Amino acid sequence: MRDARDDWWIIGSAAVALHGGNPVDARDVDVLLTVADARRILPGIGVALTPGVADSRFRSDFYCAWGAPPVPVDFMAGFHVYGEALVPATRLGMAGVFVPSREELLAMLRHFGRPKDLARARLLDRLVM
C-alpha cells in the first residue's frame, strides 16, 4: 500500500485486533481503498480487478482477493453500504497500517449487521479506553 495516493483503511476483524480486541477470528484482512488506487496498485501485485457483487447490505465497485500473503487480503474499492458510499472519517496509524477510530469501527460493524460483525462490535465495545 506504499504506492497508495488516497487514504485507505483496514476494517473488520483485523481492525478489531489492531484496536486490542482479543481473541478475534481474523481469517483475512479487509482493506478499503479507492477505485483509483485499486487500478494503480493491484495489477502490479498480481491481483485481478474483479467487479464486486452486490449484497443486500453492501457492495464494492471492485472486490479483489489476494491469496499470496500469509493471511488472505480482500480489497474493497468503491465500497458502498446500503447504497451509500462508505469512506471512514477517521484514520489512525497502527503498526504501519491505518484503521478507523474505535468509535467509527464500532458504528460500521453495527451498521453491517451480520452476526459476525455484531460479535466483533461486542468485543470492541468491551475494551477499556
In this predicted structure, what is the pLDDT of residue 25? 77
Q: Are 80 and 86 in contact (CB under 8 A)?
A: yes
Of 110, 96, 40, 79, residue with least CA distance to 88: 79
* Integer Cα distance of 33 and 21 in angstroms: 23
* Integer Cα distance of 35 and 32 in angstroms: 10
Taking CA atoms, 80 is separated from 31, 63, 88, 123, in Å, by 13, 12, 11, 24
Instruction: Give the domains, in start order, of the chain with CATH numbers.
Output: 9-125 (3.30.460.40)
Of 6-15, 20-29, 37-46, the poorest mean pLDDT is in 20-29
* Integer Cα distance of 56 and 83 in angstroms: 9
pLDDT at 67 over 80: yes
pLDDT at 101 over 70: yes
